[in-house]
Chains A and B, each alone.
Chain A
Amino acid sequence: MGVYIAGRLASTFVVMAIVGLIVFLLLHLAPGSPAAIIAGDNATPAQITAINHQLGLDRPLPVQFLVWAGQVLRGNFGTSIFSGEPVMRLILQRLPATLSLSLVTIAFAGTIAVIGGVLAAWRAGGVLDRILMGVAALGFSVPVFVVGYLLIYLFAITLHWLPVQGYMPLRRGFWPWFSHLILPALSLGLAYLALIARITRASVLEVLAEDYMRTARAKGATPASQLFHHALRNAGVPIATVIGIGVALLISGVVLTETVFNIPGVGRLTVDAITNRDYPIIQGIMVIFAGAYVVVNLLVDLSYSLIDPRIRR
């Protein structure tokens, strides 16, 4: 197992290097230049050329790439072209908000979806199943920003129960932190809830038809024990997989949610950096996210052995 984990972790660096190269090329070959944005609307072509030179953007691409890659290998992701702040500091400043939103979303969506999916499978074809799967279909089809605005209108503007926007760190208290995450997590989580609930229902339905479930019923196990101890555990691997995919997808999903709810997270940082053509920030975030994807996948793979003892053997 140790060798397996070490191998997977080593592959993380390979993936990060390949992603780094692709992102670098995409950014530098795409039209648009930070120099023109920096120079402003009244700039002359000569001023834009001067800024390009100052930023080193007039050097050959391979030279620019090697300079950047050399910095990254030394743990330095460079500094923002616009703010002059170190990229790593900017990312670390934004990470708590994004992690908080992601964790609350996954906790909310995962819990409700798994319970809902199991119950829908238990009462397959019944009213409960139809309601739960209807909600799931809605979660898939309604865009995050529509749900977001509706929730803001109802809970923040009309009822004044929750704040409209912003983020409060956990060290300022649990409720201030949590209250700022409820609406964003609900908006963002609805799609994941739908995805996880549908997979859970399908997996549990399949397991419920197995012989050992008949045995469990025959030996007098309660419905709750049958569903959550026997069925859910055996249906766990695909559910863990889809939750893992959900965590990975969250990285892109938070972009819109962070914008609608004004949460100062990594998603907003990415969008702003792309708009400004702030190359060091975009490259830094993409490389780090690539590494995070690999690690999340590894964790999902490892979770299989927790869920299913047969895999451990």
Chain B
Amino acid sequence: MNITRRSVIGGAAAGAAAAGLAPAPSARAAATAKTTLHAVMQGDLRSFDPIWTTANISAYYGAMVYDTLFSIDAKFQPQPEMVGKWNLSDDKKTYTFELRDGLMWQDGTPVTAADCVASIRRWGARNAGGQAVLARTKDLSAKDDKTIVLALKEPFGLVLTALATASTPNCFMMPKKDAETDPFQQITGRIGSGPFTFNQKLTRPGSRYVFDKWDKYVPRKEAPSGLAGGKVVHLDQVIWENIADEQTALAALGAGEIDFYELPPLDLLPQLRANPDVKLQVMNPTGNDGLMRLNCLHAPFNNVKARQAMLYLIDQKAILNASFGDPKFYHPGPSLFGYGTTMSNDANTAWFKQAPDLAKAKQLFHESGYKGEKVVVLDPTDFAFMNNSAQLIVGWLQKIGVNAELASMTWGEVVTRRASMKPDDQGGWDIFVTYSGGYDMSDPITQIALSANGKKGWFGWPENAQYEKLRNQWAEAATVAEQQAIARKMQAVAWDFVPMVMLGSWTQPAAMRKNVHGFISVPDVIPFWNVSKS
């Protein structure tokens, strides 16, 4: 073998050329075009199956590519979307939905009732609201190509609300061959009937996701309202750029390289406000609610007094201030149903006016018979809100003499460990902090954190038969007013047995260039229809 300098340099040059000559996207050519919008979303689009995962970003993808039978409007009321006509039988047990004209999958085939039946079944296996509907369903079938019949065993007032839900997984309609996929396996199809098509050729997973306007989409005639109404697309292309670094995303927005930044960190808002080319808009008006889950299976929180002590221990303002700084964007609140939702109320909230009251918390811990057991607080250091809150909670617990300790880990480890029902010395836990979308907190059926059915329920496993009876009554209520009355009773019971502790709510504005118009603020989804650039 004869190696010379020239051959080495030649080889290196050839390698460099080969590296650059690999196939590449051409989407960036349109970076400044008025019909192309570059957006930085809340995270990477890891899965293209919005039923398989509950990740919000996958629901955003779903809202681009797929459509729903019903959608919530600006007042959170369900309105027909893919459905043209519908009716409910006099005995309130049989729904008949007729698909509107012109609905077509993006491969050119018509949307049929059979596609929708399969889609509802798959969604119903993964969504709590869907499970509630299917559990009461006697028959779900396609009467003909355009008509779906849903026959219930008993009247159930939440059918349309569930079908229209903005909570993940949303009830997106998919072609039958995709919808018949096991709900615990991902679909491979990328074909929907929504206002955008997914451009797989230009997409680079982990880096950039490209959506094109679908010219054959037929929007409803009504004006857009929430997720309902006419989904009229003004842009030719939407590109989601996955910029992981917040400072870089901010600089790119300032330089006009991107048009929309969904979740700029709140501590950078002063910089954004100072930029005359940038404006802010709260996209999710119901925001998020912080939740503290207590492990009700083991000491000390298997004793209700210890759980009640936590109500008095927590200083919501301090928790929110530690993570969100600007009081304009956070709201302390005592309601089990979050802040400002349709079900929020003030029943049995005297403790909130008194909290924080460390002496009272100490007294309640003492009354619980606390014997110095270790209290393990899971601390996901990769999520600022959870990390900050966990540290404050441990500090307060230690102040009142509780043997509390932080277990630092990643959020990925928290989601594994919180599933353990063992005591904390065998890999279990006592406290973890998380949050929920505010919109979800208004629905105790779809929001599993609002259940109290013991080991069948959510992490922490609180159990209370009276509360569960009320929760079932809520599901059967015919009107919102009736639901609100039951919600008050549920909360009155809840703050006695304390299934969890609320940590307050917050909203986070999106930042966008001033030439971007028409974003509709709705919970849990970012719609790109109705958006334009000037």
* Residues of A that sit less than 8 Å from B by CB: 1-2, 5, 31-33, 36-45, 47-48, 50-51, 53-54, 80, 82-85, 90, 92-96, 99-100, 103, 149, 152-153, 156-157, 160, 163-166, 168-172, 177, 259-262, 264, 268-269, 271-272, 275-277, 302-303, 305-306
Contacts and interface: CB of A to CB of B under 8 A. Distances in A.
B458 A31 contact: no
13 contacts: A32-B410, A36-B415, A42-B447, A45-B419, A47-B126, A54-B185, A93-B22, A177-B20, A262-B241, A262-B244, A262-B249, A264-B207, A272-B206
Nearest to A52: B184
B22 A92 contact: yes
Given A92-B22, A160-B255, A276 B55 contact: no
A92 B21 CA distance: 12
Report the 9 A-B pairs with minimum CB-CB distance, sorted nearest first: A170-B20, A40-B54, A264-B207, A169-B24, A82-B46, A36-B415, A99-B19, A32-B412, A96-B22
Contact of A93 (B12, B19, B204, B434): B204
A275 B412 contact: yes
A260 B248 contact: yes
A105 to B, nearest CB: 12
A282 B3 CA distance: 35
B5 interface: yes
Secondary structure class of chain A's binding surface, majority of residues: helix
Contacts of B412: 32-33, 36-37, 275-277
B416 interface: yes
Contacts of A306: 3-5, 8
Contact of B19 (A44, A170, A259): A170
Given A2-B1, A269-B206, A41 B24 contact: no
Contacts of A44: 448, 456-458
Interface residues of B, number: 70
Interface in B201-222: 204-208
Nearest to B243: A262
B343 interface: no
Given A84-B188, A165-B252, A171-B24, A42 B448 contact: yes
Nearest to B241: A262
Given A50-B184, A262-B241, A303 B22 contact: no
B188 A164 contact: no
Given A96-B20, A165-B251, A262-B243, A1 B46 contact: no
Contacts of B261: none
A264 B188 contact: no
Interface in B229-256: 241-245, 247-249, 251-252, 254-255
A146 to B, nearest CB: 11
A28 to B, nearest CB: 12
B46 A276 contact: yes
Interface string B23-35: 0101011000000
B46 A166 contact: no
A170 B17 CA distance: 8
Interface in B398-424: 409-410, 412-413, 415-417, 419
B30 to A, nearest CB: 13
A262 B206 contact: no
Contact of A264 (B1, B208, B251): B208
Contacts of A277: 412
B113 interface: no
Given A37-B412, A40-B53, A103-B16, A305 B3 contact: yes
A272 B57 CA distance: 15
B528 interface: no
Contacts of A271: 244
A103 B413 contact: no
Nearest to B411: A37
Which of B207, B244, B249 counts the most A-chain CB atoms under 10 A from its CB?
A: B207
B368 interface: no
B348 interface: no
Interface in B25-69: 26, 28-29, 44, 46-48, 52-55
B54 A262 contact: no
Nearest to A149: B247
B182 interface: yes
Contacts of B3: 302, 305-306
Contacts of B188: 84
Contacts of A93: 22, 204-205
A82 B252 CA distance: 28
Given A262-B245, A306-B4, A152 B251 contact: yes
Given A2-B1, A36-B412, A170 B251 contact: no
A166 B255 contact: no
Interface in B415-460: 415-417, 419, 434, 436, 440, 447-449, 456-459
Contact of B20 (A41, A53, A90, A171): A171
Contact of A40 (B17, B168, B184, B257): B168
Contact of B244 (A37, A259, A303): A259
B15 interface: yes
Contacts of B440: 42
Contact of B255 (A90, A92, A157): A157
Contacts of A47: 126, 184
A38 B183 CA distance: 12
B128 interface: yes
B428 to A, nearest CB: 13
Given A165-B243, A275-B412, 11 more contacts: A44-B456, A45-B459, A54-B184, A95-B19, A100-B19, A149-B247, A157-B254, A165-B252, A260-B245, A262-B249, A268-B206
A83 B255 contact: no
B186 interface: yes
Given A100-B19, A262-B248, A38 B52 contact: yes
Contacts of A164: 248, 251-252, 255, 257
Contacts of A264: 204, 206-208, 242
Contacts of B459: 45
Contacts of A163: 255, 257
B132 to A, nearest CB: 14
A166 B458 contact: no
Given A32-B416, A43-B54, A90 B1 contact: no
